[in-house]
Structure 1
Amino acid sequence: RKEAERLSAAAPQSIDDYERLVVSSPNASLVWVHYMAFHLKTSQVPMARTTAERALKVISVREEAERFNVMQAWLNLELAFGTEATLAPVLSRAMQSFEPLKVLLHVANVYEKKSDTEKAQQTYDQLIKKCRDAPETWIQYGQFLFRQGQAKAAQSQLEKALKSVDPVHHVALIQNFARSDYVYGHREHGITLFESLISQYPKRTDIWNVYLDQEARGGAERLESVRRLYHRVLTNKLSTKKGKALFKKWLQYENQYGDAKGVDAVRQAALAYVE
């Protein structure tokens, strides 16, 4: 924030202005990135590259987040103004210096924003080879495929993910894919995934809550479906704390989408539950 205020107050207009700023705030990635942008505004791409190189040498190795910000800016530069030949060494360096997962996801997102689906797909292929055991790899790739309208391909990634990722992450993976089904208009498939989870873990209220949230987003149209889910979860022997939390959530939903009769029914059920 301090660096942003300095940039705003100083309103640097020249190389000398930026040089003074990087001397006073050598670890501030924001200053270096703005300096790079200053060069790009005057089509000085080589100077912007040199500035990125300087920044990575100057910023303390302990400031990994700041260094990564500069690296992202350099990747953005090459993706916008460079060639395959200039991008390759920068990408290789980024993957050696930082988490390949973060680097490749950034590159894939840039390609997708540029509507270069082919390059984005190639980057995800590279990511899967490099970080196959990372849950985020499969979650992000699945969402990418959903955004491309490839629902079946996206859904098929879950099976591959479950074979690649440590079982401790399986529940979270399935929940993420189920949420994506809802978000991208494939509710029935999402229901199937949630039902498979609660059949295995009927008392896991964290799973029920995610399931309920997805159904509740349908508003009044899904009133009866949501009510049935609340009735089902509350037939389990839960702690008083968890039960109260669910009734509170249900009451909020009824107040928003239900009617007076529904609200009263929830209140009566809640009283009976804690007695």
Structure 2
Amino acid sequence: MTQTATRPVSVSELQRAWRAVREGEFRCDSPRPRRGVANPDPECRWSPPGPVITILGCHPQAGVSTLAVAMATVAAPAQVIECASATATGLACAATAELGTTDGWRIGRRGQVHLARSSTALLTPAEVPVPPAFEDPQRLLVLDVGWELGQLLAGQSWVNRTVAEAASAVVTTTATTPGLRRLENALTMLSPLEPAIAVRGPARRRWPRHLEAGLGPLSTHASRAGRLQCIPTDKDLAERGLTGQDLPAPLLQAAAHLLALTAPKLNLMEGTTR
């Protein structure tokens, strides 16, 4: 079998691709539809009908889906769209009521939050189908991006265009040395976007010295600007993942703080961050 060698993509190349997306200097090739996958938007023209917050993970298991549901819960009524493949979903058990499938999406509800996750396996962000139409399109949409950042920025899809054009974004990582390294890389690739930062782990005052020393220049700047929020780790959530149970109060409090950081850019109605 013949194998094709692939060349590693550098951070500078990803930054150039990201700038092209932000400036609209790209085209979207229509991928070959695969069996069971709804046709994606071949021209990347989908745009959210209302306010949107995008949440990106710096690495796997960074807590993106949990944070997306928590922020939507605080802002309810709201909706969450998870862009990950069905094989990588974090929302499989998050709904308290399943509402069926439509156009490649599984729709669910938990309280006043509507959830949508892919019903099929996806290989790239370009295969993510166009989001479903919700009952109230003006509700806040929390977009759980669900793809490795390098893969997202290197391609063309409605997903990375939405990230590029969103007024507000959050990046998540963990309070570990590798997690903070990945955070700095993510902030570098996303520049000039200045997202809020969610760090899953202990409160900042409890960080050991080597973690404080591990903050890079962009991360330090974000911290000094008040854009870094620690997200408390919940043992039950860590073991079970998202279920239909109520989210713990400390997590919702942290989500409310992040929403307060991002909501002013969205012109949300007063009371959204209650």
Higher-helix-fraction structure = 1
More strand by share: 2
Q: TM-score if structure 1 supplies the norm length?
A: 0.27
User: What is the TM-score of this pair, normalised by structure 2?
Assistant: 0.27
**Greater RCO (Cα-Cα under 8 Å, separation 6 or more):** 2
